[in-house]
Amino acid sequence: MANTNNAGAEALRRLKEVDPPSLLAPNPTLSETARAASQYLFSSIRPFSQKCPLDQLLVDGYDAEQIWHQIDLQTQPLLSTLRRRVNQFVKNPDEIAQLKVPSSVAKKVEAKNHEEWEQESDDFDEELDEDDDDEDDFEGVEKEEKNGGSDGEEEDDDDDDDEEGSEDEDEDEEGEKEKGKGKDSGIEDKFLKINELNEYLEKEENNYENAEEADDGDEDSEEDDELEKAGEFEMDEDDEDDDEEEDEDDEEEEEGMENARYDDFFVGKKEKSSKRKDQLVEESEDSGDEDDMESNKQVCVCVCVYVCVCMIVKIFILKIKFSYPVFLYSFMQKKRTASTHEKQLEKIQSEIELMEKANVEPKTWSMQGEVTAANRPVDSLLAVNLDFEHNVRPTPVITEEFTASIEEMIQKRIIEGLFNDVQRAPRLPSKAPREVKELDDNKSKKGLAEMYEQEYVQKIDPTSAPLSSKDKLKNEASMLFKRLCLKLDALSHFSFAPKPVIEDMSFQTNVPALAMEEIAPVAVSDAAMLAPEEVFDGKGDVKEEAELTQAERKRRRANKKRKFKADAVKRSEKKARSEKKEDNAIPGQVNG
């Protein structure tokens, strides 16, 4: 163990002493030393990390990323425990004094500026597999410093001062930009002193200028600084605010404002180890949000050292090319935590990329024009909402209201009698109506000869047309009507002014007496009846023949004879006279 520890420490030392330019080129020996150093750091921190499943860092044949993951495994739980401890210290600042802190190394580290940490952070690769190693390193350093027996209090003070200084810087910048500049009384605190702030600012500016001037020359120192910074940056376990350091630059100030907390400024200590590296590595801004100030100076100092070593190692393994301007640029850039504007830009950029990609690719089948079934996937139409014209009116939904409306209409129509009956259009007679010869189904009274005769006559002499059926019917109708009228008049008792009776010789019939006694005489009146004397004109006692006695019979016969005889004589005389006249006449005629 001791040998390995020594070997590991030696490896670390060697790494430290390494010439930064040599890091630019890939060097297997350096890689080996770096690995050994990381292993040493890992094993040195191992006793502090209880939850870690690995006993030692497996390096042989492992990838940089795999080594990093192992380190990560160890440090993650460790970070949380440290955070808790820091919180405790925040609540009870008295405990801090009880802790031992290695002084020399811490001071040195803290003397190195924060600015450079911030500047170089972004440039480092995300794969920091030596972070844990750095941490281990730091722990190791811590132990060494502890062994060195540093004065905790002094270091605490120093650290506090340093932290104050850093805080002052941060606050100063923030104060410059956002808080009132003239309000010294308001700003100045037991922590914040304007004078110190100004000094720090000047220092920073000088450093910046120096950095710009001497790129290569200052590389080593800068590299170291950067390494340290990077190492510091990558210390998650220290729960330090990288945000404050970032805020030193204009661009990062805003972000620092977002993430700044009271604890960052007014709760002692806290070297803000650079979270940048961790952020880069983890690609998360949470690493930057270290709210809790670690009051443990020891840890801070160790962390700084560890971070530096880690940086070195990482550089060896990852073969990063350093250049200050690049670092500066990366420092300028928003590391992990980008501003809103940049976030928007990124978003837009991603959208643009997406759209360009879509445009370049061939279109989906639904966006092409006419697509037959062969050009689209099976059953793809089911997924697409097609829109096409329906030339058919949708079937009406039969509801109660619908039927009620129909029935209402029907009722109304029935009441009005307004049926849309089709009326036959009156056809104008184009020609005279043909006389339809009706079929007579009676036996014809005329003989066949007569029929043909008539036909012939009609043909020869059209005028001698026989009475057409029309006239016949007319006559018949008129006859019928006359008879009807007569009957109707009789019913009405002839109560009308009769025609004047024309006195002419007409026989008076003797209407039977029975007819006269009827209440409603039909067509006869009393006046028409014969008078009795007209009926019989006789004298004496009129006797029937049956009543006559023999004597009277004889008497009648005798009378009759006498009359007959008398008539006979008269007739003969007449004849004689007429004969005489004729005899006389003829000669008369002959003569005349």
Partner 1 sequence: MQSNEASSSMDVDTVSSKAKVLPPKPKFKPLKPHEMASGQVQFRKVSVPPHRYTPLHKLWMEFYTPIYEQMKIDIRMNKRGRKVELKTRPDTPDISNLQKCADFVHAFMLGFDVIDAIAILRLDELYVESFEIKDVKTLRGDHLSRAIGRLSGKGGKTKFTIENATKTRIVIADTKIHILGSFANIKVARDSLCYLIMGSPAGKVYSKLRAITSRMAERF
Q: Site for partner 1 (CB under 8 A): which residue of 346, 453, 567, 573?
A: 453
Segment contacting partner 1 by CB under 8 A, of 140-148, 353-361, 435-443, 518-526? 435-443
The one segment of 118-126, 317-325, 442-450, 574-582 that binds partner 1 by CB under 8 A:
442-450
- Residue 47 lies near partner 1 (rule: CB under 8 A): no
488 is an interface residue for partner 1 by CB under 8 A:
no
Our finding on whether 436 is near partner 1 (CB under 8 A) is yes
> Cα separation of 191 and 315, whole Å?
37
Decide whether 362 or 447 has the Cβ nearer to partner 1.
447
> Site residues for partner 1, window 494-533 (CB under 8 A)?
none
Residue 101's closest CA among 167, 43, 161, 158? 158
Q: Could you give the CA distance from residue 171 to residue 187 in angstroms, rounded to a whole number?
A: 9
Q: State yes or no: residue 459 binds partner 1 (CB under 8 A).
A: yes
Q: Enumerate residues 6+ apart whose C-beta is below 8 A from 299.
A: 82, 138, 142, 237, 238
Q: Nearer Cβ to partner 1, position 449 or 551?
A: 449
Question: b/e per residue, 247-270, with b = 16+ CB within 10 A?
Answer: bbbebbbbbbeebbbebbbebbbb
We find the least distance from the C-beta atom of residue 573 to partner 1, in angstroms, to be 54
Pure H helices in 464-549: 469-491, 513-516, 532-535
Q: How far is the CB of 474 from partner 1 (least distance, A)?
A: 22
What does the per-residue mask of binding to partner 1 show for 147-186, with x meaning CB under 8 A? ----------------------------------------
Distance between alpha carbon 356 and the CA centroid of its chain, in Å? 28
The structure tokens 């600015």 sit at 115
Minimum distance from residue 435 beta carbon to partner 1 (Å):
9
- Among positions 47, 182, 447, 512, the unique one binding partner 1 when judged by CB under 8 A: 447
**Whole-angstrom Cα distance, residue 199 to residue 189?**
17
Q: Copy the structure tokens of residue 333.
A: 């850039």
Tokens (6 digits) for 506: 């007409």
Exactly one of 439, 505, 527, 546 binds partner 1 (CB under 8 A); which one? 439
User: Is the CB of residue 137 less than 8 Å from the CB of residue 41?
Assistant: yes
Give the one residue of 398, 448, 502, 513 binding partner 1; rule: CB under 8 A: 448
Which residue, 436 or 501, has its beta carbon nearer to partner 1? Answer: 436
CB of 443 to partner 1, least distance (A): 5
Displacement of CA 87 from its chain's centroid (Å): 54
Residue 433 near partner 1 by CB under 8 A: no
To the nearest whole angstrom, how small is the minimum distance from the Cβ of residue 432 to partner 1?
12
Among 215, 455, 552, 567, binds partner 1 (CB under 8 A): 455
Span near partner 1 by CB under 8 A; candidates 71-79, 123-131, 425-433, 437-445: 437-445
Residue 480 Cβ vs partner 1, minimum distance, rounded to whole Å: 24
Binding residues for partner 1, total number by CB under 8 A: 19
Question: Could you tell me which stretch among 302-310, 445-453, 488-496, 530-538 binds partner 1 (CB under 8 A)?
Answer: 445-453
C-alpha dist (Å) from residue 423 to 400, 417, 579: 33, 15, 94
Residue with tokens 């993650």, as numbered in its chain: 76
CA 126 to chain centre: 46
Nearest to 126 by CA among 314, 305, 343: 314
Does 442 participate in binding partner 1 (rule CB under 8 A)? Answer: yes
HEC readout, 66-98: HHHHHHHHHHHHHHHHHHHHHHHHHHCCHHHHH
Q: Rule CB under 8 A: which residues touch partner 1?
A: 434, 436-437, 439-444, 447-453, 455, 458-459
